[in-house]
Amino acid sequence: MIEVSIAVTLIPFAAYLLGSIPFGLLLAKLLGVADVRKAGSGNIGATNVARVVGPLAGIFTLVFDTAKGATAVWLAGRVTDESATWMMIAAFVVLLGHCFPVWLKFKGGKGVATALGVFLALCPLAAVSALVLFVLCVAYWRFVSLGSIAAAAAMPLLIYFLWAPRHAPPIIVDVGTLAIALLVIYKHDGNLQRLVEGTEPRFSFSKKKETE
């Protein structure tokens, strides 16, 4: 019992450390790019890695960033016998780790892929629905930021209606989902300003300077 209690109290620390692993930066360095933060938009996320290093590196960054979100939630569930409270704590903290990693002076990614992983573990149907919305937005308008913001904004409603047949999610899940959505949107504040001003660049794999 004592060992279980200790493991539970370590969930936030483990989730933060897992989230803070800068896979985009590490993959870029492995593939010969000295520092992906000094090219393109300067972001360590999959979009900028794909643009600066190449599509394959971007895909791997997306997979690893998604996996760390899902892993944090899955581990919290295993340790706490599927406690919704602890799983949501792990979900939010792993995202904090990605967005504000201590190793990079708290300047991390925008959290979209990690949030996707979190919700794939919590409610796969809601996560897939948000992903479809993201793809449709990017395919039509070619703004990755707009797709990310739209998916984040829709997630609280998607979680509420798709959590389980005829069952609303626990309050902690609603609150945690809203907090995650707001954090992801907050991390896109610069993109929002550029979208309003009409200066946000459209997505492409070219290695010219962009700002997603």
In tens, the pLDDT along 134-181 reads: 999 999 999 999 999 999 999 999 999 999 988 899 999 999 999 999
| Mean confidence (pLDDT) of the chain | 93
Could you tell me the two tokens for 209? 């300077």
pLDDT at 18 over 80: yes
pLDDT at 2 (0 to 100) = 54
DSSP 136-205: HHHHHH--HHHHHHHHHHHHHHHHHHHSBTTBPPPHHHHHHHHHHHHHHHHHTHHHHHHHHHT-PPPP-S
Of 16-30, 35-49, 149-163, 183-197, least confident by mean pLDDT is 35-49
pTM summary value: 0.92
Candidates 179, 156, 180, 185; CA nearest to 169 is 156
Mean pLDDT of 100-114: 97
